[in-house]
Structure 1
Amino acid sequence: MDSLAAYDLDGHSWLSKLRKAWKIAKCAAAIVQVVASLWLPASKLLRIRREIRELGGFKDAARLVVGATNRSEKLTR
């Protein structure tokens, strides 16, 4: 037994409980990261799809982007 650790009635130190909590927190953070990394690109694709639809379809949107002379024209409708 570690001389610096305090033990509970089950014989577990507070340090081992802290390590377990840290592992759980890291696992939860990894799950959140995966969900966020999948959700953000999907939301961007949905936004792009909506914008293309508002511009009159893919052909019209492509014609507008190709015909734009500078970046600000490409970003504005």
Structure 2
Amino acid sequence: MMAKLSSIIILLLVLLQIFSSASVAVHNKDGRCSTTLTQGCRLNYCQRRCFLEKSGNGRCIGNIAGTTYFCVCFYDCP
């Protein structure tokens, strides 16, 4: 049981890594989009880069395990 659970967690972390590096914009119903800019996050750099690239608001978002942070940019969809 524990080995199966560990395998599932590892698979989820690998999938998170794959999808986070793809930098795909996600559209919401309210006209806001989000995209992952980088893995690893320094808040001031994330906010500045998001503002310059997308005129948006950058935030450091952690993974489920809390071991890695990603710079996620929230902005108005074009």
Please tell me the TM-score bracket, short chain as reference.
0.3 to 0.5
TM-score (structure 2 length as normaliser): 0.36
Query: Which one has a bigger Cα radius of gyration?
Result: 1
Instruction: Please state which structure has a larger fraction of its residues in helix.
Output: 1
- Structure showing the higher strand proportion among its residues: 2
Q: Which has the higher contact order (CA 8 A, sep 6+)?
A: 2
